[in-house]
Amino acid sequence: VDLLAIATSARGYVAADLAAVVREAVRHMRKLGLTRLNQICLEAGLAAIPPSLTRAHRFTPDPQAEWSRIGGY
């Protein structure tokens, strides 16, 4: 398994997402009658489970923000 390729494909995934990806990969593995996870199974898991963090949720810092405006003070 090429873990670097999987990690590169897993942008925006949090730990719970990755756990779901592995569960889905195991389902795919069993459906194919395999006894070990392989690259294809993990890629199928990534395709089936969307990442929680998307571009819309990314934080963009405001360079004009002052500490007095943060936290409601």
DSSP state of 57: G
Q: Number of helices and strands (H, E) in the chain?
A: 3, 0
pLDDT digits (tens, 9 = 90+) for 24-73: 999 999 999 999 999 999 999 999 999 988 755 665 666 676 777 666 65
Contact 42, 25 (CB under 8 A): yes
Identify the pLDDT of residue 53. Answer: 81
For residues 61 and 63, what is the distance between their CA atoms, to the nearest angstrom? 6
Tell me, what's the pLDDT at 66?
A: 73
pLDDT at 47 (0 to 100): 96
**This prediction's pTM:** 0.72
**Among 61, 51, 59, which Cα is nearest to 8's?**
51
Residues making up the chain, counted from first to last: 73
